[in-house]
Amino acid sequence: MNAKWIIGTALTVSLATLAIPAQAAESALDAKTTEIIKRDFRDKGIARADRVNQDELQSACSKYLDKLPAKLKTRLEAEQVQSIKWPADGKYMGDWKAGEKLAQSGRGMTWSDKAEDPAGGNCYNCHQLSAREIAFGTIGPSLLNFGKKRGYGEEMQRYAYGRIYNAKAYQACANMPRFGHMGILSEAQIKDLVALLLDPESPVNK
């Protein structure tokens, strides 16, 4: 039996045993984090503590730091696509003026809001929407000239509706909230946002 083989085998065994405490420590840290969250997050008004509970997709994105294994990513995205509730009337466009107001509103979903009050889209916080804006977020891509660049047809309208309804159907670990899937925005509100993006008269396309 060769000395190099013996040393290599011993090193492999040693590294394997070292991994066990590291995994245990990570598991203990996850448990402690969960304990702190459950301790410190409480129901208040319409803000419920169960918002911090992750579904399978969110848990996977956390586990893999947003870099999912290909097969898992494909499955989760397919499941999210199936969850999209398309408009019963087959129409994806609403009123772009209502959509503009909605996109510029960051209100809603906090403990001090009422359940019956409509939430805002808060779109400006992550995206540039028009050339005249002087302040906007950059977490998401610029939406300036969205329709002008991509076209105004029904296929693009459907894409925009689906993306707003559930962005994770198109990119599993997207930062964008699942506005329709999570009940943040109504069907009518999502249609208004689609119109903001795809009506030629919208400031987005001027």
pLDDT digits (tens, 9 = 90+) for 41-86: 888 888 888 888 899 999 999 999 999 999 999 999 999 999 999 9
| Domain identity same for 75 and 8 | no
| Domain identity same for 13 and 99 | no
Tokens (6 digits) for 6: 């013996």
Banded pLDDT at 36 (limits 50, 70, 90): confident
| Res. 10: pLDDT tops 70 | no
Percent of residues, the chain, with pLDDT higher than 70: 87
Q: Crossing angle, helix 56-63 and helix 70-83, to 10 degrees?
A: 150
Tokens (6 digits) for 70: 């290909």
**Span 126-132, mean pLDDT?**
93
Residues in the chain: 206
Banded pLDDT at 13 (limits 50, 70, 90): very low
| Domain identity same for 1 and 70 | no
Q: To the nearest 10°, the Cα dihedral for 142, 147, 151, 153?
A: 130
| Res. 2: pLDDT tops 80 | no
| Residue 202: closest CA among 157, 151, 148 | 148
CATH number at 94 reads 1.10.760.10
Tokens (6 digits) for 40: 């410190």
| Domain identity same for 46 and 110 | yes
pLDDT at 155: 97
Task: Provide the mean pLDDT of the chain.
Answer: 88
| Domain identity same for 85 and 57 | yes
| Domain identity same for 76 and 173 | yes
pLDDT at 7: 46
Higher pLDDT, 132 or 159: 159
* Whether the Cβ atoms of residue 160 and residue 194 lie closer than 8 Å to each other: yes
pLDDT at 112: 83
| Domain identity same for 72 and 4 | no
| Domain identity same for 31 and 48 | no
| Res. 101: pLDDT tops 90 | yes
pLDDT at 26: 66
Tokens (6 digits) for 125: 């916080």
| Domain identity same for 183 and 88 | yes
| Domain identity same for 158 and 74 | yes
| Res. 20: pLDDT tops 80 | no
Q: Write the CB contacts of 123 (distance below 8 Å, at least 6 apart in sequence).
A: 102, 103, 104, 129, 143, 193
| Domain identity same for 36 and 47 | no
Say how many domains are in the chain: 2
Half-sphere exposure of 22 (CA within 13 A, CB side): 5
Of 1-5, 77-81, 164-168, the one with minimum mean pLDDT is 1-5
User: Which of 25-39, 117-131, 182-196 is the most confident on average?
Assistant: 182-196
* Whether the Cβ atoms of residue 114 and residue 46 lie closer than 8 Å to each other: yes
Q: Write the CB contacts of 179 (distance below 8 Å, at least 6 apart in sequence).
A: 121, 164, 165, 166, 185, 189, 190
Please name the amino acid found at residue 20: I
| Domain identity same for 127 and 28 | no
What single DSSP character describes residue 113?
Answer: S
Dihedral pair phi/psi, residue 47, rounded to 5°: -85, 110
Range of the domain at 133: 42-206
